């Protein structure tokens, strides 16, 4: 009898562990089985005026992510694919916004971007110096990044003491 209780408890424990966990709203979710890409927040992040509450129709499948101090736009599928490849790796342009940012006042914004691969060994990403940019809906900060190899990447921007991190799956 004691042995059958042990096996029953073991069977229940194994069964429950196979179910995984449920992420709280706004927490990273699993893309495939390996990369906890950043999902759209619930409720959605709404940037301050004059920026549109939702990403414009031309950017269907993307969402705003962050806080009024620092935000970006991410793809709903959590991936960056078909990126240009050079000897250094895969290139991507990342637009960032911050309430009150004015290109005329700060043409070279003090935004730094770092990144690390989560699913394997890699050199960190390299980031160009931030510059100002004009997006379809207002002024933005633009940073070009080069990711040495595909994989699951955590990208972090820091602007005026505010950090914003997100996770994307980079595929060739």
What are the structural domains of the chain?
23-171 (2.60.40)
What's the pTM?
A: 0.79
Q: Phi-psi region for residue 26, left (φ > 0), alpha (ψ -120 to 50) or beta? A: left
Determine which helix (DSSP H) or strand (DSSP E) holds 133, and give its type and residue range: strand 131-135
Burial group, residue 35, by CB count within 10 angstroms (0-12, 13-18, 19+): buried
Which residue in 159, 158, 155 sits closest to 146, CA to CA? 155
The answer to whether 76 and 44 have CB atoms below 8 angstroms apart is no
Q: pLDDT tens-digit profile of 27-64?
A: 343 344 589 999 999 999 999 988 888 877 778 899 99
Q: What's the mean pLDDT in 137-158?
A: 96
Q: pLDDT tens-digit profile of 1-27?
A: 444 333 223 322 323 222 333 333 333
């Amino acid at each position: 009898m004691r042995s059958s209780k042990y096996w029953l408890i073991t069977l229940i424990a194994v069964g429950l562990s196979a179910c995984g966990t449920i992420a709280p709203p706004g927490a990273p979710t699993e893309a495939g089985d390996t990369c906890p890409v950043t999902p759209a927040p619930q409720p959605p992040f709404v940037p301050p005026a004059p920026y549109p509450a939702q990403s414009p129709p031309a950017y269907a499948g993307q969402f705003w992510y962050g806080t009024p101090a620092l935000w970006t736009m991410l793809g709903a599928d959590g991936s960056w694919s078909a990126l240009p490849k050079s000897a250094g790796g895969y290139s991507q342009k990342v637009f960032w916004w911050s309430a009150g940012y004015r290109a005329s006042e700060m043409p070279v914004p003090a935004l730094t971007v770092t990144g690390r691969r989560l699913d394997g060994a890699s050199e960190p990403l390299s980031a160009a110096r931030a510059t100002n940019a004009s997006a379809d809906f207002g002024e933005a900060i633009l940073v070009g990044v080069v990711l040495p190899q595909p994989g699951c990447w955590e990208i972090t921007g820091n602007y005026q003491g505010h950090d914003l991190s997100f996770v994307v799956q980079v595929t060739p």
